[in-house]
Structure 1
């Protein structure tokens, strides 16, 4: 066990400071999406260089440690899943899966339940495609138009869209956050999904009830529904079903890519050659998080070897008296880092190793630590005014709505956080959920 050493954390602090500092400076300078202008891997690269400069072992040993971290089994597994998930998402969208899913949802949502309908459709889309941003971009213009036509509160509709998008982002088995949380904690995706669902479902049901009560439009505007093919929604259902049945995630995603490709070829959405290009486009869409995860894995290994992670755990230990406070410690860590870097996946990757070691030391079920990491990163990502989700969301309203207008209606994020805290502090609630998993 390395000797605790606060000095060893400097590379991590440099990485976060550059990422955070650049984002703050650009935001204050009036640059749109300031926190997303500097690619994460560049900031991580500076952190790597700092580690090489500061740590005292010989150069070849530092390279060995760095490459061991980059090539760690969990890191490489996570990165490979990123590539396959990206390919599945892009191919499915190219063959019309997202558009078909949106129109399918709109065709079954009564106009008088518009706000609740937006939440449900956003949740389904995000669950299917694994990204809250994708769900917001797909539904944003439609939701804004419907809110204007029906004279329904624009902030309420936007908040419903945000809540549904974060529901899917948190639960989807092809979401970056799910991949990162399950791989850093070394647990099965379906186990994390089931525990997560027990927490998120009550929060989502209460949110829908609130939206049904407070989201009645003044005018019932007709919803324009375009033609769609139900077959094009099948890959999403197929992937989710296989994942929940416990089929190997690589096989699930690979099969999903082939199914989406076959449907796209049948309907003439692309040729065999363009199908290959869409697959590669999916790979490149995950380039940033792939490189960031790999580089962060290298930094984490070097920092751990020098005693940095041991120092963090030693300090956290002074505040932890048992499993419950250990879970709160994990929740606090990922929340604070997400507030700093405005990227929930990056936050999980940064604190994942520390959280896993805290879980092992204090007897926290690693399935629970994966859920806590994912939930709290998504809760805060859906609340911060400088996150990509909120910036894009407000952009659709064309400056007619402010963050403060929307935040008071972000009921889902608040309820999700509340139910997770109940799960953490109620042994009866958490015990019943874990016991139900063991029975299956």
Structure 2
């Protein structure tokens, strides 16, 4: 069976622009209703995507409904989707149990007591960057730390959307730099380079983007110092579950082990401190998982719609369109960046984006004699910068599900992905790795 790259080179699969219509319908319904009414809660994302799914089923009326439903169900039940669902459920349980036993309040109050008021929020961003780099998963980081944003908002009066955006942005920093991130593994594997080399390439793009974000965050949070100065009481033992998650991440533990262990550990501490009894623990677990049900349904629907888009040639259309416009080495790098960007906007999964675009990007790189490390870096950066800005991406969906805020409210405060996009474009325009090679010669 030919892969997408081989099909395109032979010109036997032009793709179908009409297959992208469901994504357009979703954006029109979700964003359009919010812009018109001024309330982005008017059109729930799930409702908008269910309508988009209906549109997807109407594409190619000659194909039977049974066939379409089979494609939809197989895509919705993909292993990546199911893994995401389990993470969501564990994250909901962990956040609920940690809050019920007083872990969130203690963690926030401890932070307020230790950090100077002016450094509380910037410090939170740095902590998130560190944890996400250790864990290697942005979704896992968002799941574990969004409850902290809720607590900080309650204590300081800071906009919850801003704090949640800080969590999401910092989580993506780790996704870009971690050696154990699935995006790092996918990008390096598809281009045949070492993971450490791809991370080094990313570092000179991610670092300035993170520093610029840190400056903006410091300025925006400066006015909340007085409120942050008043810290309540805390119990160190109730902070331990979060510390355990961090230590486990540093040890390279699996995200499932981290979150499941966190649930049990938080419950045990709650029972030990008489903050919870066994039934309170069970109730908190159930409540936390129940709170993620709508999010899980949305992810399943999104997965099915993406499967239909792929089946009807939406991704192939994008690939053909971009490759037909490439004329030079610099154009090739921008073409790969555009390829990763558009596919991520369509699939809402940066790892799948890299796996899909990787083989074709490798062919383009060989044709124009591009550094494989550079291609891997471009794929990762441009898949990631859009990933945490789309309202139907896993990072935003996770944050919305836990914090109960508007996805658009989070996106307007997302500084890191914007700076990542800017510095990513600069890194293509001025290829410092090439300059270094020339200087060495």
TM-score, length-scaled by structure 2: 0.67
The structure-2 alpha-carbon separation of the partners of 1:276 and 1:32, relative to structure 1 and needing over 3 Å to count, comes to same
Name the counterpart of 1:290: 296
Name the counterpart of 1:373: 383
Name the counterpart of 1:138: 151
- Contact 1:86-1:285 within 8 A present in 2 as well: yes
Q: Within the alignment, does 1:83 sit opposite 2:89 as a pair?
A: yes
Q: Within the alignment, does 1:329 sit opposite 2:335 as a pair?
A: no
Match of 2:28 among 20, 26, 29: 20
- Contact 2:112-2:231 within 8 A present in 1 as well: yes
- Contact 1:316-1:329 within 8 A present in 2 as well: yes
Structure 2: unaligned runs, 5 residues or longer: 132-140, 190-194, 363-371, 396-404, 437-441
Which stretch of the first structure deviates more once superposed, 122-131 or 94-103?
122-131
Q: Any residues of structure 2 matched to 1:239-278 within 5 Å, and which?
A: 239-278=245-284
Partner SS, residue 232 of structure 2? coil
Name the counterpart of 2:361: 362
Distance 2:45 2:74 in 1: 30
Name the counterpart of 2:50: 42
Q: Any residues of structure 2 matched to 1:1-400 within 5 Å, and which?
A: 1=2, 4=13, 7=16, 9-10=18-19, 12-31=20-39, 33-34=41-42, 36=44, 39-51=47-59, 54-111=60-117, 114=118, 116-121=119-124, 124=127, 130=143, 134=147, 136-144=149-157, 161=163, 164-171=166-173, 200-208=206-214, 223-320=229-326, 324-330=333-339, 332-333=341-342, 337=345, 349=348, 353-363=352-362, 369-370=379-380, 372-378=382-388, 388=406, 391=409
**Residues 248-301 of structure 1, C-alpha deviations (whole Å, 9 max, x = no match):** 332222212211221222223332223223223332333233223322322333
Partner SS, residue 388 of structure 2? helix
Query: Number of residues paired by the alignment?
Result: 382
Distance 1:205 1:213 in 2: 13
- Contact 2:91-2:259 within 8 A present in 1 as well: yes
**How far off its partner does 1:329 sit?**
1.2
TM-score, length-scaled by structure 1: 0.67
- Contact 2:92-2:143 within 8 A present in 1 as well: no
Distance 1:61 1:219 in 2: 59
